[in-house]
């Protein structure tokens, strides 16, 4: 299940104290999910014992953010079967590697986004992903073609 700003907001103090630099706790929740802020920026969570239970829940809930790439991509290597579907269907690979990944072979370009190594998919060059950068596109082709659900994205 995808983590949403509302999931985070429900566990925040909801005081809108602005100590984190945001106008509201909801705004802070969005920034946390986008990794523009850190949980430690919410001072009441750490200064007031009455929020300790919520803070611990938030710390656990936000753990997957630590393993996500800049685009929100998370590859669960324990679920990956190394099929390479994600490599073959990636629109960037299809465009830049018509003689390799685009026809079902492994990538022949030096800097593919994804590559199967030792039986699991690895993120090699996330900067080339359509989800990365200022003009990003909400592409989920790799996730949609993963038969083992090893690929997911943070939602926000």
Considering the domain architecture, whether residues 36 and 89 belong to the same structural domain is answered as no
| Full pLDDT tens readout for the chain, 156 residues | 567 889 999 999 999 999 999 999 999 998 888 778 999 999 999 999 999 999 999 998 888 777 666 667 888 889 999 999 999 999 888 888 888 876 777 788 888 989 999 999 998 888 888 877 777 777 889 999 999 999 987 754
Cα separation values, 103 from 23, 59, 63, 153, Å: 50, 43, 37, 26
Half-sphere exposure of 133 (CA within 13 A, CB side): 7
Residue at which a domain ends, from 18, 36, 67: 67
Considering the domain architecture, whether residues 82 and 63 belong to the same structural domain is answered as no
3-state SS, the chain, equals CCCCHHHHHCCCCCCCCCCCCCCCHHHHHHHHHCCCCCHHHCHHHHHCHHHHHHHHHHHHHCHHHHHCCCCCEEECCCCCCCCCHHHHHCHHHHHHCCCCHHHCCCCCCCCCCEEEECCEEEECCHHHCCCCCCCCCCCCHHHHCCCCCCEEECCC
Which residues form the domain of 40?
A: 5-67
Considering the domain architecture, whether residues 61 and 88 belong to the same structural domain is answered as no
Could you tell me the pTM of the whole model? 0.57
Task: Kindly report, residue by residue over 118-139, the tens digit of the pLDDT.
Answer: 999 998 888 888 877 777 777 8
For residues 67 and 74, give the distance between their C-alpha atoms in angstroms, rounded to a whole number. Answer: 7
Residue at which a domain ends, from 17, 49, 67: 67
Considering the domain architecture, whether residues 148 and 115 belong to the same structural domain is answered as yes
Considering the domain architecture, whether residues 81 and 133 belong to the same structural domain is answered as yes
CATH assignment at residue 120: 3.30.70.20
Considering the domain architecture, whether residues 28 and 88 belong to the same structural domain is answered as no
Number of domains in the chain: 2
Considering the domain architecture, whether residues 85 and 138 belong to the same structural domain is answered as yes
Give pLDDT, residue 76: 87
Considering the domain architecture, whether residues 21 and 60 belong to the same structural domain is answered as yes
Considering the domain architecture, whether residues 82 and 17 belong to the same structural domain is answered as no
Considering the domain architecture, whether residues 124 and 62 belong to the same structural domain is answered as no
Considering the domain architecture, whether residues 56 and 123 belong to the same structural domain is answered as no
CATH assignment at residue 50: 1.10.15.40
Residue at which a domain ends, from 30, 50, 67: 67
Considering the domain architecture, whether residues 51 and 80 belong to the same structural domain is answered as no
């Amino acid at each position: 299940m995808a983590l949403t700003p509302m999931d985070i907001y429900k566990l925040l103090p909801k005081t809108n104290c602005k100590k984190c630099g945001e106008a509201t706790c909801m705004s802070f929740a969005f920034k946390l999910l986008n990794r523009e802020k850190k949980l430690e920026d919410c001072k009441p969570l750490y200064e007031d014992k009455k929020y300790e239970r919520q803070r611990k829940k938030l710390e656990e809930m936000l753990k997957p953010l630590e393993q996500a790439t800049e685009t929100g991509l998370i590859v669960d290597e324990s679920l990956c079967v190394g099929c390479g579907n994600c490599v073959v269907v990636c629109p960037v690979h299809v465009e830049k590697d018509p003689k390799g990944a685009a026809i079902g072979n492994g990538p022949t370009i030096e800097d593919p986004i994804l590559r199967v190594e030792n039986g699991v998919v690895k993120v090699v060059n996330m900067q080339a992903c359509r989800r990365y950068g200022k003009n990003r596109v909400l592409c989920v082709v790799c996730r949609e073609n993963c038969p083992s659900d090893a690929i997911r994205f943070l939602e926000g």
